[in-house]
Amino acid sequence: MSGRVLDRLKGRIKYGLLTQELLDRLRRFGVQLTPYVIVDESPGVFVECDSKISACVIRPLKAEEMHQVADMPRRRRNLDEVVSRLEYAECIGAYVGDTLAGYTWSRYDRVALSRGRILLHRLAPDEAYLFDMYVDKDYRGMSLAPLLRHRCYLYLSGKGVHRFYSITAYFNLSSRKFKAKLGAREFELRITIGFWSLMNADILLRRYQGGNLMGTKRAYFA
């Protein structure tokens, strides 16, 4: 077993993602089983947190800065794909000095899965979907993630957005705990099922008490 694979496995175990790792490996055989929760991150329950990073600037990123997102040392992305997101989403970055330490994305049109094939919800003008949040390993444990999330809420609230949704993999316990500490509320448990990309379906497994914020009983195909 290579060192890179071993490090990945250790990380998955550390953050409670071993079961998710097994599910991810099933994808290589054409089987997709992805349980996840939909989370309400609406403002009003969040408190500004104190970051251990004294000099941190958090702001929206411009198109000419997308190369910094694509070139994050431990999470390199295709630049064209990152830039194309700007057609429907916005990226907010956290800088420590001149270094991009983390970022998060928000979109304002819809919540969709399986590369847009399964549409969960069309967003209203005062709603946003938060996704793909990332903080570089060198800056973790410094409360940068909650600070970035909170500043994102404030920025979007200034644009007239007052309801936020996000999705978390069911077995990603660290992410679920992170959102719970911020006061976010899980309101639906769902699973996406697919076989060799020939069929994709989304099934509601459980709706938590009071959880019907999106007004949907089942997902539908885009």
Query: For 2-29, what is the mean pLDDT?
Result: 59
**Residue 99 belongs to some domain of the structure:** yes
**Residue 208 belongs to some domain of the structure:** yes
Query: For 25-50, what is the mean pLDDT?
Result: 72
**Residue 30 belongs to some domain of the structure:** yes
pLDDT, tens digit (0-9, with 9 covering 90-100), for 168-218: 989 888 899 999 888 899 989 998 887 776 667 888 999 986 555 554 444
Residue with tokens 């000099």: 55
pLDDT, tens digit (0-9, with 9 covering 90-100), for 126-162: 999 999 999 999 998 888 999 999 999 999 999 999 9
User: What's the farthest any 2 CA atoms get from each other in the chain?
Assistant: 51
- The model carries a pTM of 0.80
**Residue 48 belongs to some domain of the structure:** yes
According to DSSP, the β-strands at 89-96 and 99-107 are: antiparallel
Cross-strand partners of 129: 107, 165
In the three-class reduction of DSSP (H, G, I as helix; E, B as strand; rest coil), residue 105 is classed as strand
**Residue 174 belongs to some domain of the structure:** yes
**Residue 7 belongs to some domain of the structure:** no
Burial degree of 3 (CB within 10 A; 0-12, 13-18, 19+)? exposed
Residue 62 sits in a domain whose CATH number is: 3.40.630.30
Domain of residue 212, residue span: 19-221
**Residue 142 belongs to some domain of the structure:** yes
Residue with tokens 């990380």: 11
**Residue 9 belongs to some domain of the structure:** no
CA nearest neighbour of 178 among 143, 127, 203 = 143
Domains held by the chain: number: 1
Instruction: Give the Å distances, CA to CA, from 76 to 33, 57, 172.
Output: 26, 22, 21
